[in-house]
Structure 1
């Protein structure tokens, strides 16, 4: 052992140089490794894995990992390797654990030269991660694998590196779940968050409650299209299923062999429609209930005043804990409307008996009661950041999804935090603004936005560092209608999160990541992942200038490509204009652009964007009320020549929650105005309500205004486009007033909450 440690110390000294010095250390660039290791030292040597290569395993705890290595080798066309306990002279792969020489948990040292591959881990997880790095390095030959020489010292940035998968909305077979786990292990995630219950289906067998299998696991039909579309359309096909306890055990062991902990999520007290359909006595009204057939948040939740609710959930968790050895259980706690609790006699009696102030405090009681039970079994709970409302359970870990506020609050209370803000970590959001993208939940989370996220970046105090456990990516499956589509939506964004979770912040670089990601293409294809480099698509920015001019900038990350474009609505060819600098747009038009490779062949998808140039483009805009953060791209968005799309995710909509819109546009000088146009959204299923009244007014002096137009009805479910010819009038100032709906009325989605008023592009002609 002393000899091994002396050897390790020598190697560690050799690899002490930072990555920034690699270019000076040798001619090799960074290999296609994701996540990027802490240090890499290249050599010119190559190791060949062939039929005579031995796997040296002196520690019996590594036998399963050695078997995994053999499986990886066979999958790439190599030959089965013989396991031995003694180190031969050469041509071997040795696996060992040495927590003294490798001080960081889950860390490893991987040394590859022409004679051998040595993988030493702090623990078994570290050894496995060293082999995952090895998988990304080797190249398949005829019956052998070639591995370039490197010395790699590596360890993770965060202790918690998670990816979720929702199987309630769409159920995925065990084979896909295992494949998913394989990919998580490959990219050094150590936690799989399995979302097993929700309104649309209960997916885990609970033997004490057979109706969870026969009723709650099934819905009569499924929504077609997006939930914002009205009227809702359905496919008329019964849908559902569940995992048996035997299947759960099989998956748990499969993950454990790959050093991945599975955290099950059993939703409570909300998102309970499926369970209530099976056992209606658990609800406040007694039903009847039905497993939900569309996506959203529903008023019917577990009754907090009924002791049988807690008995049911405790019995469920007993069976869940017997299946999952994880120290954590996720109990949800999110999106629980209090509508039923407010009028439920049992819930109100509970509030009064416990002297609770309101229904938020009742939810806190609910969560804390369940936490006490889970703690009594030696486990801990994780909940979404809504569990902060009414008072946080004493030992809970908070998963912060509604931005970073919940995470900051939990850290201040000295609770562990897992950051998963929907703006950066939700992979059911669109990854591109191209119209060809498959239907998604909404939002816009491109690869670069995931990679660039820095959790709690504004909090640099020791407490933030101490309680920030890690990060997690969310894969909600409302619109994951197939395995292929799920993989398309999750990858490669999960790889960006993997590097964020593992690699030290100073060493992360997006351009470097893209180069390595392109090198991962063959590996992802081999793993049968629908990998498409849409991150190389053409993107744009538009800057409104003075004198009603738009400056358009086109960008691409694709190496060795050039952009050709047109402004006459035709598809570009190799003869079209070459993009070399910003384009100035002075007239309404559609810009189309294509990438051309070195062989002058078109590649990628067609970019197209329409621009409407009018008198207000680039004008000053003054708002009486501040838009909400989610829909606040800046005042000039209202006059930048671009119209917001029906996915409301393109950073073109201004939104006001409960507040009225009042915008004044200063045209800079008096001009003749004879047409006004704008867009407002009317998506009640997203809490987006058109204004009760919309007024368009004009003024010469900015004080005295004349009403030019008023509208009190917006019949279109979706984008209401207004094109308003007016009697010609001289004006320097245009005022737009939109009266917010205010509180969403009873019976509507989000009843009791603030209505959103969304508006875009105010056209003045």
Structure 2
């Protein structure tokens, strides 16, 4: 009896220990994880064992060791041999897991075993093991059992290499991170109006001419005199092989019939007008289309021949988006072609072209996928649809029997800003933060069980108009990619936002060791002050917050760096101006997540950063840009509205003020708006170059000042204006509008400073 009681006591102790131990900080969270008793101890002699001749296991083992080395993890040796105690074993088993990419991972005192039916499963197990071993800094890996499988078959990321290129080494680094996040599709955007990035040997002008553009401010202030480049076929083959060895399929995109400017610049005969045009340095929606005659279709088929030879992916992306039909409508030849085909509209003509090229891919064992505009006139039954204009395209396509991939804007667009902090770099607005990505559900509501089976998965899109270098890309992608990875991999019942946040600090530490320029926006302290009270008495209350709400905020008021012994923020803090506030967000384990500093004095209460202004009524469009499109600068950044050159300073403190000093920037107006150009607000100018007009109490209020803008040819890109007005009292909204011609440069606000009367 005593022995039985002892055994029961030990068993209950083991269960209690397991219950008290948290899950390891794994992202994405495994489908099933059960903690065991004890641990496996890593030693200098610990080996990673794979079966002789098992190429897939060898690749997974190599990937494991490479990624551990990148984050300064344990040093292990890869060997071929039979499974043995004291080792990490990676092996195939035909009986393991019915779902493609599934795996099991077991840890006990005798070793670690990763077992999978296929190569993808072994790679996914290796990716999990990278995190487990990295967390075992004391060499003790907790005993556990993981049975894991992906929720979706398409777990993707789209990289735009047209607007701004990335080097092969940088793309390899991104592929490694995708594999560590258990993503399996890299959608590679290779052709557009601003450049042709893929070598096509049959048509060398595509890269000799089409791969290069002249920036709008070429050679000025860090902007290159010529921008461009391309990926050779040798480079592409190497990247495809590199990705395949990590379980990732590269899906190329050749965009058509729109977004064709670079191709038509190289070969005008394949455009509608036949005229030579330049590669575009502009962002936005262009009107250049491919022709629909037989020579152009032959050209596109020849291009696809080489694309298919380079990319073994079953799926080839043919774009189909934003094809403005003006050129087709104006062309007698195109109209005659449309009539000969018995088509009633230009949309049907696009459907015919996409159908013909889709059939060409099918005849070669491939499958077309396109943006959701391809649904407008019907597409081949086997074609898949990528829904970017919200999720309705996915719903419509699934109901028609097409497979779908969700990549809606702005929900999964990683070029959206991650926060509204003034120090954020370039990007689109509205904000799509970490919590927004984590909350996304890839299966649209309203589909029945049969239609749901057509949802292949989802992907985030990284459009790079405003990401001129890889640091910008990394900042935009990480850690939002962690949130997306969990959405696409983990069963809904295992997803939990607070638990995800608790696992994220370990991942951020790995990013730091791998020198990845991730964003700390979700954890950055937001420092605000009751400015009205501060102006009235010099005393006020300070408020601190973070977007995610994770961890502990500590602060100092003397300019010193907060440390674990600094005061914990628990509510508004009384302060007396002047004061310098430094705040740090500490993770529950004590790691620093983010730091920010802000100083307040009487002068700062009269200043406003232009990025904190708000749009005037009428247009929600908002975009944060760098001074020049192809310069790699991070600062300064400016927020603009392309449709209404007007911003509001709400509740401006005008007591005793008699002037407003405005730092301004003149930016290239390199935006094609197509049919939306008519929505741009034009204000009548009274002088040659327009004015900055300042009104009080809204944009219909009385004019406080109107200051002429200087001659763009005679003044630098960054300049200042002084707007004087009669002495003011009280707080009022200030409306600041430009009357500059809409076909001229853009004007943007830097710092605005109200000035008191002498």
**Partner of residue 104, structure 2:** 109
**Partner of residue 272, structure 2:** 284
Residue 366 of structure 1: CA displacement? 2.1
* Contact kept in structure 1, 2:584 and 2:595, CA below 8 Å: yes
**Structure 2 gap segments, 5+ residues each:** 1-13, 607-616, 623-635, 645-649, 651-656, 674-678, 685-692, 711-716, 746-758
Cα distance change on mapping 1:264 and 1:656 into 2, 3 Å = closer
Stretch moving more, 88-97 or 240-249: 88-97
* 2:70 is aligned with 1:81: no
Distance, in Å, in 1 between the alignment partners of 2:380 and 2:708 is 45
Distance, in Å, in 1 between the alignment partners of 2:566 and 2:175 is 47
* 2:252 is aligned with 1:264: yes
* Contact kept in structure 1, 2:476 and 2:519, CA below 8 Å: no
Matching of residues 114-133 of structure 1 within 5 Å: 114-133=109-128
Residue of 23, 27, 36 corresponding to 2:20? 27
Distance, in Å, in 1 between the alignment partners of 2:375 and 2:531 is 43
**Structure 1 gap segments, 5+ residues each:** 1-20, 226-231, 613-625, 632-644, 658-664, 666-673, 699-705, 729-733, 739-743, 750-765
Residue 159 of structure 1: CA displacement? 1.0
**Partner of residue 180, structure 1:** 174
Distance, in Å, in 2 between the alignment partners of 1:398 and 1:722 is 53
SS in 1 for 2:522: helix
**Partner of residue 153, structure 1:** 147
Residue 256 of structure 1: CA displacement? 1.2
**Partner of residue 757, structure 1:** none
- CA-atom RMSD, angstroms? 5.4
Distance, in Å, in 2 between the alignment partners of 1:522 and 1:584 is 34
Residue 381 of structure 1: CA displacement? 1.0
Stretch moving more, 487-496 or 384-393: 384-393
**Partner of residue 438, structure 1:** 425
**Partner of residue 302, structure 1:** 290
Residue of 158, 164, 168 corresponding to 1:170? 164
Residue of 33, 36, 46 corresponding to 1:40? 33
Stretch moving more, 30-39 or 592-601: 592-601
Residue of 73, 91, 96 corresponding to 2:87? 91
Residue of 530, 542, 545 corresponding to 1:555? 545
Matching of residues 701-712 of structure 1 within 5 Å: none
* 2:677 is aligned with 1:690: no
* Contact kept in structure 1, 2:49 and 2:87, CA below 8 Å: no
Cα distance change on mapping 1:317 and 1:558 into 2, 3 Å = same
Distance, in Å, in 1 between the alignment partners of 2:93 and 2:189 is 34
Distance, in Å, in 1 between the alignment partners of 2:442 and 2:358 is 26
- TM-score under structure 1 length normalisation: 0.73
Residue 412 of structure 1: CA displacement? 2.6
Q: How many residues matched?
A: 683
Cα distance change on mapping 1:278 and 1:495 into 2, 3 Å = same
SS in 2 for 1:415: coil
Stretch moving more, 413-422 or 549-558: 549-558
Residue 303 of structure 1: CA displacement? 1.8
* Contact kept in structure 1, 2:48 and 2:61, CA below 8 Å: no
Distance, in Å, in 1 between the alignment partners of 2:430 and 2:303 is 35
Stretch moving more, 434-443 or 125-134: 434-443
* Contact kept in structure 2, 1:222 and 1:234, CA below 8 Å: no
Residue of 499, 507, 510 corresponding to 2:497? 510
Distance, in Å, in 2 between the alignment partners of 1:727 and 1:63 is 77
- TM-score under structure 2 length normalisation: 0.74
**Partner of residue 198, structure 1:** 192
SS in 2 for 1:470: strand
**Partner of residue 397, structure 2:** 410
Provide Cα deviations, 1:164-221, integer angstroms capped at 9, x if missing partner: 2111122222222222111111110011111111222211111111112211122234
**Partner of residue 6, structure 1:** none
Distance, in Å, in 1 between the alignment partners of 2:591 and 2:67 is 39
Cα distance change on mapping 1:727 and 1:559 into 2, 3 Å = closer
Greater RCO, 1 or 2 (C-alpha within 8 Å, sep 6+): 2
Provide Cα deviations, 1:116-146, integer angstroms capped at 9, x if missing partner: 211111322112101110111114999x965
Matching of residues 64-79 of structure 1 within 5 Å: 64-69=58-63, 71-72=65-66, 75=69, 76=73, 78-79=75-76
* Contact kept in structure 1, 2:259 and 2:323, CA below 8 Å: yes
Cα distance change on mapping 1:62 and 1:233 into 2, 3 Å = closer
Distance, in Å, in 1 between the alignment partners of 2:461 and 2:593 is 34
Distance, in Å, in 1 between the alignment partners of 2:236 and 2:272 is 31
